[in-house]
Amino acid sequence: MNLSPASLLQWITGRPRADVPVRTSGYSASSDSRVEQFDFTLLWVVLGLLAFGLVMVYSASIAMPDNPRLARLSNHHYLMRHAFALVVGITAAILVFQVPVDTWERFAPWLFVASLILLVAVLIPGIGSVVNGARRWISLGFMSFQPSELAKFAVVLYASDYMVRKMEVQQNFLRAVGPMALAVAVVGLLLLAEPDMGAFMVIAVIAMGILFLGGVNARMFFLIAGVLLVAFMLMIALSEWRRERIFAYLDPWSEKHALGKGYQLSHALIALGRGEIFGVGLGGSVEKLHWLPEAHTDFLLAVIGEEFGFIGILVLTVAFFWLTRRIIHIGRMAVAMDRLFAGLVAQGVGIWIGFQAFINMGVNLGALPTKGLTLPLLSYGGSAILVNLVAIAVVLRIDYESRVVQRGGRL
């Protein structure tokens, strides 16, 4: 961070230097009071979610080796892999926090190109790994990497950088938004080839949100939203497999769907029903005993609901709502200080985490059709945890820089 000895002391102690003017708007700061370098409450909430996710991944996966297909694995296999992903993710986040936001702005287009190359590479036989009929992962030896997770982060950076460079968006809409729409369409086609419609939905919402926050007026915004809605409807209508998912969602208990496309949803609802208000207690889930598929990934919330009941889900919902709101507030503060790129990035991360959590919770609760999206910061998945933590580190860096500028310092 290019800190002088005095600045380093300030960074360690959290106290402002006496020779630096301090402003009190937005954040409380004075020369004789403690000034936080970034939002520690946000950091503790994230760490709390990570710790709870580690416990729940262990609870949801401990019985999986009882399945003859997984008999070679130990009961702690997924716990250890998830813990390793947390160590890698936290280490990466600490390193990323040292990177100035201006650096991300300079390299945003190149990171987007790199994500496109990886999305193409994952489709190449011998490079991409096939799991449950989907080719979404690249094996790195020590972990499997999912390029679509990097693409979410890359789109946040690229869209934010693009809107900063195309501020005439309201004067010449098609010329300004067209290239970015084409870029998102290319990402969408690559994701649909895997297939991963859930990731495409998240990326489309991220791009839409940043477009709106970056200056697109309401009429243009709803026009784009309408086009995307029609596109998603066509994707469902033209795919028998996706149509069956919708029918199973509408009637998961029918004889046709209960043992087919509606199997996961019906057992998720059974798990939630067993949990009632206070749950059956940690480790007491029955549905995780080979009844509920993907209990440690996409349907972790159903296990949480069974073991901690309505209260557990309510606490998680409030935590994600607060987390999303706080991240977006950090973005708004940056925009108010004329740091547009930083502000759009933070708000884009907030939209990403909030929307993906909303979709995952909606799927688990039976409010939305089944999609293959994990619960951010909690579900098992090395690349998702890694990229989520990197994104959070960038948000904390944005908050740190905003506070430095607000106190009259220089970056």
Per DSSP, the three-state class of 45 is helix
Q: Is residue 293 reached through a cis peptide bond, with omega within 30 degrees of 0 on the bond before it?
A: no
pLDDT in tens, the chain (411 residues): 444 434 433 443 343 333 333 333 343 333 333 446 878 999 999 999 999 999 999 999 998 888 778 778 888 889 999 999 999 999 999 999 999 999 999 999 999 999 999 999 998 888 877 776 678 888 887 778 899 999 999 999 999 998 888 765 555 666 667 777 888 889 988 988 888 888 888 999 998 888 888 777 667 777 777 878 888 888 887 777 778 878 778 888 877 777 778 888 888 999 999 999 999 999 899 998 888 888 888 899 999 999 999 999 999 999 999 999 999 999 999 999 989 999 999 999 999 999 999 999 999 998 888 887 899 999 998 899 999 999 999 999 999 999 998 887 676
Backbone angles phi, psi at 341, to 5 degrees: -60, -50
In this structure, how many other beta carbons lie within 10 angstroms of the beta carbon of residue 178?
11
**How many angstroms separate the most distant Cα atoms in the chain?**
74
Please report, for the chain, the start and end positions of each structural domain, with discontinuous segments joined by +. Answer: 108-238
Nearest one of 136, 119, 56 to 303, comparing CA atoms: 56
Is 244 in contact with 227 (CB distance < 8 Å)? no
129, containing H or E segment: strand 128-131
pTM of the predicted model, to two decimals?
Answer: 0.86
pLDDT, position 29: 37
Residue range 307-318, pLDDT digits in tens: 999 999 999 999
Tens-digit pLDDT profile for residues 152-204? 999 999 999 988 887 655 556 666 677 778 888 899 889 888 888 888 889 99
User: With b meaning 16 or more CB within 10 Å and e meaning fewer, what string describes 252-286?
Assistant: beeeebbeebbbbbbbbbbbbebbeeebbeeeebe
Reported as type and span, the H/E element at residue 139 is strand 134-139
In the 8-state DSSP scheme, what is residue 69? G
The whole-angstrom separation of Cα 11 and Cα 188 is 42
